[in-house]
Structure 1
């Protein structure tokens, strides 16, 4: 099967027709190369959320098809729930894409791709990931999108290690809660993130929801937060 690859400039019209009256256009961020114990938790959460928001949600993700990836789990969850699925990526990532039936809209750079993710969505789900998840978070809050951050205790990754974000969910939770254990604030990246969150703290309070994947009510809480008209 050949892939239907189209330029990102054609995405807006296609997505508008695809999503139609779905009020929630949910982008999903996480690991494209899954650490141990990641796949089951992320897949279960996504499937539960898709069921809870059936008829209300459409998904936006990458066509990356690596084992255990957040992208593969999102594609599966959307398929089972009968939810619209929009696929976008960057030129550099096309080599990891599968051969989906849907068209793939491609952007020149990872930064363009991340910005487009926010442009075509109105909410974001963060299930771990590294720096790319943080980029998606920043672009989402620029547009005042609601963001659900999921902490999965089964994923044994620190928030920060080796000079980079290792678990975006834990990193964002700790930065938001002003818990800087294992996050060196003398690092330029972390100092910049701290300044950004503090400068927007008042506005962000109503846009963020942090849930623990192990909490039996986590999926329901996330779904209620994302529903149209939720406080």
Structure 2
């Protein structure tokens, strides 16, 4: 009995090795279950790595909001205004300009009154006062022109109130030109003939118109600086 069992085992083993039909009938197979492919596992892992960690849309929105609220804007930091330092000479000229402007105001007001009196009566005393006041106004305007233009040029790189200072300077320069034209259009003294009288009247009217226009330009220039500083 033992011999027959051993014989059958040997015959089955030989049939299995040779792949005979008897082995297939017996259902004996040396084929082992296939191991999972390492390449397949590697591909699945690589695909997961490419996708990266999964973050829900709600969490992503919270992260973006928090980052946007806390992170400072680099462009905003880079546009901080730079402090402009003025020289001592600039400060001195600014004070002279300011005091000369205050001194001009009463002179202009008095000149208007005296000029109107001279326009109506033509008295000699009014004429002398009118000329003296006009000379004082021209002198103060000359001081303001020099100090103002000088400081405007020195502060050309200062962006603070640049537009307001430029408008003020242009108005005052236009007023300077107007006062220069006013002094050149002063009427003469001839009143003997009709032609001379008419010429005098025309010159007087032109002189008065240019003077009032110049005062208006200067007043606008003062108001630009006065209102803009508050």
Q: Which has the higher helix share?
A: 2
Name the TM tier (shorter chain).
under 0.3
**Higher-RCO chain (CA-CA 8 Å, sequence separation at least 6):** 1
Bigger CA radius of gyration:
2
Q: Which has the higher strand share?
A: 1
TM norm structure 2:
0.20
